[in-house]
Structure 1
Amino acid sequence: MWLLKLTLAVAGLYAAVVTVVYVLQSWLIFPAGLAAFGPDLPAGGRHVELATKDGERVVLVRLPARQTPATPRPLLLGFAGNAWNADALALMLHQLFPEHQVTALHYRGYAPSSGSPSAAALFEDARRAHDHLATDAKAGIVAIGLSVGAAVAVDLATARPLRGIVMVTPFDSL
């Protein structure tokens, strides 16, 4: 009898955990609240707002090259991991690649962008960002995606011409 009670208790606990994970899956994948406001932008840095087809507002952070290269360099378009702030990603890329212009996308639902994050929305917003930047990117655009952002970069590479793509700690299933 005690074995039956133990089995039912374990099964009930397992069912409860699975239910909680199922209910919270969007928050677990896109924990916008953990990606609080980033650090201050350096001189010349700015935020650019883009309107989406469904009336939301997504924000890009743009940082100019700190060094003027002898030949034009591709613009770097960054897509952060699920708990990263786009300002912090842009600053990191700016430190690593000072001769490149750097832009990073604040996902929907991640301040200061509006709306709710979803895979479809991120893919659409990445395309909108690319289209907005393409006229300024004389040497092309390189997409850089970290973790969840790697999926956004790969989707963008299937939809728009890119000079290159860099995936940092990508995942193979979600």
Structure 2
Amino acid sequence: MMRTAAGILITAAVLYAFACLVLFLSQRSLIFFPQPRRSGSEAGIMKLRVDDGELNVTTRALTVPDAVLYFGGNAEDVSGSLPDLAAAFSQQALYLMHYRGYGGSAGKPSQAALFADALALFDQVQARHPHVTVIGRSLGSGVALYLASARPVARLVLVTPYDSMVELAAGQFPLMPVRYLMTDKFESWRYAPLVKVPTTLVTAENDAVIPRASTDLLLTRFQPGIARQVVIAGTGHNTVSGSPLYALALAATAR
């Protein structure tokens, strides 16, 4: 009887360890969903040189002092966001990054790569435009927030942002030691206290992907007077940008 019980425990432990290994090895396929570029011409693409090759950046080039950098969601073709951003920021140059593996960009995505690429893009854009607003949506909110903590951005806009992606994953896999397995943690709470520029959190009222509690917690991480929250009523994580109030919220952040 004891041998049987011991055998069951050993088998369960082996299966659990195997499940942990599978989760560890496949974690980036659960975070990143690269998309092809579906709109825009090659004439509107800027090439950003990085260590893995070149990244594509969808642009609307204007010779003006103000620019907007946009970092999209984990399954977003950012070229599709160009019309909405062009309407909201009519007087700014626009730069929308296709992450590594997305939209024809070289390489494979990771937190470290996205953070490094965001810094490289900012440095290149700021050389042309001294005032740079940074926008990040969903996954990209963590990229934008990190960038704003490390570079002198003019303004920061976070759309459907999270406090910590590793905490979101822990909620999805409550029986797994996600906090120890996850390498791309995207812990926005680490960088929010370092941000010193006006910041707007645009929240979908009925977000079923990033719980409202995570966004609300992130809001508390900023220094007093830095961040404000705009809640778009009646919208979800993937429908917030379809609301006329979303366009107004973005336009209100324009210089």
**TM-score surpassing 0.5?**
yes
1:27-106 correspondence runs (5 A): 27-32=29-34, 35-38=35-38, 40-41=39-40, 46-52=44-50, 54-64=51-61, 74-106=66-98
1:144 equivalent to 2:135? Answer yes
TM superposition shift of 1:74: 2.6
- Name the aligned partner's letter for residue 25 of structure 2: V
TM-score, normalised via structure 1 length: 0.77
Three-state SS of the structure 2 residue aligned to 1:157 is helix
The verdict on how the C-alpha distance between 1:31 and 1:74 changes in structure 2, with shifts beyond 3 A counting, is same
Q: For structure 1, which runs of at least 5 residues remain unmatched after alignment?
A: none
Residues 122-163 of structure 1: per-residue CA shift (max 9 Å, x gap): 01111111111112214x000000011011111111221100
Q: Counterpart of 1:131?
A: 123
Is 2:52–2:106's contact at 8 Å kept on the other side of the alignment? no
How many pairs were matched up? Answer: 161
Greater shift after overlay, 100-109 or 113-122? 100-109
Q: Read off the aligned partner of 2:80 and give its amino acid letter.
A: A
- Distance in 2 (CA, whole Å) between partners of 1:156 and 1:62 is 19
* CA RMSD, 1 decimal: 2.9
Change (3 A) 1:166 1:89: same
For 1:154, the equivalent position in structure 2 comes to: 145
- Larger RCO, structures 1/2 (Cα 8 Å, 6+ apart): 1
What is the Cα deviation at residue 25 of structure 1? 1.0
Is contact 1:45–1:62 with CA below 8 Å preserved after alignment? no
Q: Retained in 2: the 8 A contact 1:45–1:61?
A: no
